[in-house]
Structure 1
Amino acid sequence: MIKAVLFDLDGTLLDRDESIRNFIDNQYERLINSLAHIPKEKYRTRFLELDSHGYVWKDKVYQQLVKEFKIQDISWEFLLQDYINEFKNFCVPFPNLHNVLEGLKENNLILGMITNGYGQFQMDNIEVLGIEKYFDTILVSETEGIKKTNPEIFERALKRLHVVPSESIFVGDHPENDVKASEFVGMTGVWKKDNQWGTFETDYTVEDLSELPNIIKKLNDESSPK
């Protein structure tokens, strides 16, 4: 019987690709006096390339942008701080986010979140999405001192939720960091499909969060005595 559902954040609950595009366009427009010598499309495209879907922290991204585009009026440190301060204002949830989380809670499921990233930055994004209230525990890698794929961060979350791995599922967009890593500790991994990772063979896949209740029902039906 499934008692707990745990989620990744970026690419799973937060549409990070849309959020980052919205942010970078806004940053360009706000700082146009210093960036006008760079075509907007070129600034956005290069940022996204260097960002590598969030797997490169923005200090490295902005250092490279300043160097490549010969940005002189503002420093990479200024651009980084602007990102830290402003990104949360452009967070876009995936469709059906609140409805799904509310439905899971109404069905007496315990909810948790495990996300790699910087503590306050990730918590700010969670707060803006308005979803913190649904979760019984939230683990951010910087705060915890460990990150996915380390089994300990999954085990730590399960211990705080007072459930065992076989009673839990983990939903995430990254085949290795989320699905395989959670399965390694005995959880059921559910892939929130993301085409950037190509094809990935796994038992449970959702393209929309609204498909999740059906997977939980199927798992519970399979575990019920015949």
Structure 2
Amino acid sequence: MIKAAIFDLDGTLLNRDESLRNYINNQYERLTNHLGHIPKEKYVERFIELDCRGYVWKDKVYRQLVDELNIVGITPDELLQDYLAEFKNHCVPFDHLNQMLEELKHSNLYLGMITNGYGQFQMDNIKALGIEDYFDVILVSEWEGVKKPNPELFYRALKKLGLSANECIFMGDHPDTDIKASQNVGMKAFWKKDHQWNDVEADFIINDLSEVPTIIRDLNKQPILQDKKRI
């Protein structure tokens, strides 16, 4: 019986690619006095390349941008502080996010979130999406002192929820830190399909968030005997 749905944030609930593009376009326009000598497209695309879909922290990204593009009058740290303060204003959810969460809560499921990243930054983004109150537990790697794919994060979420792994699904976009990691602790893994990867060995592949409640309802209708036969 599935009693909880636990989610990754970036690339799963938050459309990070679109959010980042919105933010960096806006930063260029706001700071045009310092950045205007650079073609806007070049600034935006180079930032996105250096960011590596969030796997390179922005202090390094901005240091390299300043050096490469001859940015003067503003420091890498000032650009970083702008990112920390302003990114939350450009957060874009994936379609049907609130609808999905509402349906899951109405089905009396517990909801959790496990995300890598800096604590306050991630919480600001969660609040910007307007979804904080849906969740019974939110774990952010900086505050926990451990990050996915370390199983400890998943075990901590289970402990806080008072549930066992086979009572939970985990949904994320990364094949290793989300899918394999959650399967390794005994959860069913829902992969939020991402064009960057193919042939991800998840229990379920999700194209749209609206699919999630139906799949969980179907799982909970399956007789226990049927599950045993499939093992």
- TM-score, length of structure 1 as denominator length: 0.98
The count of aligned residue pairs is 226
1:198 shift after superposition: 3.2
User: Residue deviations 1:194-223, cap 9 Å, x none?
Assistant: 111233232311010101112212322334
What is the rounded CA distance, in whole Å, between the counterparts of 2:201 and 2:144 in structure 1? 30
Q: Which runs of 5 or more structure 1 residues have no equivalent in the other structure?
A: none
Counterpart for residue 73 of structure 1: 73
Counterpart for residue 229 of structure 2: none
Q: Secondary structure at the match of 2:23?
A: helix
Q: Secondary structure at the match of 2:85?
A: helix
1:20 aligns with 2:20: yes
Counterpart for residue 211 of structure 1: 211
What is the rounded CA distance, in whole Å, between the counterparts of 1:78 and 1:128 in structure 2? 22
Counterpart for residue 168 of structure 2: 168
Counterpart for residue 5 of structure 1: 5
Q: Classify 1:192/1:26 alpha carbon distance in 2 versus 1 (closer, same or farther; 3 Å).
A: same
User: Residue deviations 1:49-107, cap 9 Å, x none?
Assistant: 00001111100100100010011110000000000000000000111000110110000
Pick which of 135-144 and 206-215 moved more.
206-215
Pick which of 199-208 and 177-186 moved more.
199-208
What is the rounded CA distance, in whole Å, between the counterparts of 1:182 and 1:201 in structure 2? 12
User: Residue deviations 1:99-121, cap 9 Å, x none?
Assistant: 11011000000000000000000
- TM-score, length of structure 2 as denominator length: 0.95
Counterpart for residue 60 of structure 1: 60
Amino acid at match of 2:108: N
What is the rounded CA distance, in whole Å, between the counterparts of 1:72 and 1:55 in structure 2? 26
Counterpart for residue 48 of structure 2: 48
What is the rounded CA distance, in whole Å, between the counterparts of 1:20 and 1:223 in structure 2? 44
Q: Secondary structure at the match of 1:170?
A: strand
Q: Secondary structure at the match of 2:93?
A: coil
Segments ≥4 residues shifted beyond 6 Å: none
Q: Secondary structure at the match of 1:199?
A: coil
Alignment of 1:113-128 (within 5 A): 113-128=113-128
Alignment of 1:129-140 (within 5 A): 129-140=129-140
User: Residue deviations 1:127-175, cap 9 Å, x none?
Assistant: 1111011000000000000010000000000100010000000000111
Q: Classify 1:206/1:54 alpha carbon distance in 2 versus 1 (closer, same or farther; 3 Å).
A: same
Amino acid at match of 1:49: E
Amino acid at match of 2:24: I
What is the rounded CA distance, in whole Å, between the counterparts of 1:136 and 1:98 in structure 2? 15
What is the rounded CA distance, in whole Å, between the counterparts of 1:3 and 1:43 in structure 2? 46
Q: Classify 1:223/1:73 alpha carbon distance in 2 versus 1 (closer, same or farther; 3 Å).
A: farther
Q: Which runs of 5 or more structure 2 residues have no equivalent in the other structure?
A: 227-231
What is the rounded CA distance, in whole Å, between the counterparts of 2:109 and 2:99 in structure 1? 14
Q: Secondary structure at the match of 2:100?
A: helix
Q: Secondary structure at the match of 2:83?
A: helix
Q: C-alpha root-mean-square deviation of aligned residues, in Å?
A: 1.0
Q: Classify 1:163/1:89 alpha carbon distance in 2 versus 1 (closer, same or farther; 3 Å).
A: same
What is the rounded CA distance, in whole Å, between the counterparts of 1:52 and 1:221 in structure 2? 41
